[in-house]
Chain A
Amino acid sequence: MMIGAQRPSKKTRLAGFTLLELLVALALLAFIGATLANSLSVGIRVLNRSAALEETIDPIALRIRLRSWLSQAASPAFASSVPIHFSGDVSAFEFVTRTSTPFAPEAFGMIVQVVHEDSALRLRASLIDSDGATFDEINGLLALSENAGIIRYYDGRTSEWVSEWVDDAALPVLVRIELPETAEPQWPEFTVRLTFAHPITN
């Protein structure tokens, strides 16, 4: 019988991890890693969508503003210290509006130009004072479109749509801008009735 030579008990074993503990730790790490990777991937997608959404907000706001400005286009028949005109063809038009603008309340009005160029429908507005002098400009994108759209004008005197407006004395009753479905952001048909247009002759 040996005295003093005892087998080490479980309590006195060297500190360390069992295989099972290591496997559990690895499984936990893998789970956390996968969740993080998934969250990051979703985060990147959200960021991309957010950027795309931000880019489309301004064009839509500008479209709404254009509707308001165009509906209040000044008639060439109005007596004014500023020359008032409306002219346009299939790819561009220009008009003067007296609609007040919150960002420039001191302006007499605006000369607004809508034009399709470089695969984009753009808006340019020049703020004018009572002498007709330009003192500020606004430029904005309405939509991106590789294919040119069509701009048409409804003549209330003949009840016909025309592709060019050169009348120095009257406004068209309606102005319509159409772009293909591929336009970005979406551009559903845009038709505006001009309040100060020549009365319709039916």
Chain B
Amino acid sequence: MATVLAVLIPEQGGLLQRGRESQAETLAYDYAHSVIASRSVSRELQPDSERFDYRDWSVDVALEELGISTGPMTVFRIEVRVSGSNGRALAHAQGMITR
């Protein structure tokens, strides 16, 4: 019985660890959408890529100009990747914004 418990309980601990990782991924994905929302009102949009740290995360933002033009507006594709402190990819979100 002791051996069975000794095997099963750490396995449960592993499941919980995966649960915590899943929470971090959900929050990182939500944060990525916050970054996209913030950039969507920026006046100075131009094709670029940038990396910055936010709390324990590393955030990569890439802006790419699409060949779509609607009158005076230029359409950009924005891609946000969030990685954990151990380098593990947590979230990848993308959207379209205009200038």
Measuring CB to CB, which residues of chain A are less than 8 angstroms from any residue of chain B? 32, 35-36, 38-40, 42-43, 45-46, 49-50, 53, 56-57, 60, 63-64, 67, 154, 156, 159, 173-174, 176, 181, 185-186, 188-193, 200, 202
Interface of B is mostly: helix
Q: Does B68 contact A (CB under 8 A)?
A: no
Contact between chains at A35 and B9 (CB < 8 Å): no
Closest to A189 in B: B34
A32-B2, A154-B41 known; A39-B26 Cβ under 8 A: no
Contact between chains at B55 and A188 (CB < 8 Å): yes
Known: A36-B1, A42-B6, A46-B9. 4 other contacts (CB 8 A): A46-B13, A50-B16, A57-B23, A192-B33
Of residues B5, B9, B16, B57, which shows the largest number of chain A Cβ atoms within 10 Å of its Cβ? B9
A39-B2, A188-B54 known; A64-B9 Cβ under 8 A: no
When A and B form their complex, what is the total count of cross-chain residue pairs whose Cβ atoms lie within 8 Å?
86
Contact between chains at A42 and B30 (CB < 8 Å): no
Q: Does B19 contact A (CB under 8 A)?
A: yes
Contact between chains at B2 and A36 (CB < 8 Å): yes
Contact between chains at B2 and A35 (CB < 8 Å): yes
Contacts of B88 in A (CB 8 A): none
Contacts of A63 in B (CB 8 A): 27, 30
Measuring CB to CB, which residues of chain B are less than 8 angstroms from any residue of chain A? 1-3, 5-6, 9-10, 12-13, 16, 19-20, 23, 26-28, 30-31, 33-35, 37-38, 40-41, 43, 54-55, 57, 99
Q: How far is the CB of A59 from chain B (nearest CB, A)?
A: 10
Contacts of A60 in B (CB 8 A): 23, 26-27
Closest to A181 in B: B55
Q: How far is the CB of B25 from chain A (nearest CB, A)?
A: 11
Of residues B6, B10, B37, B38, which shows the largest number of chain A Cβ atoms within 10 Å of its Cβ? B37
Q: How far is the CB of B34 from chain A (nearest CB, A)?
A: 4
Complex CA–CA separation, A38 to B8 (angstroms): 12
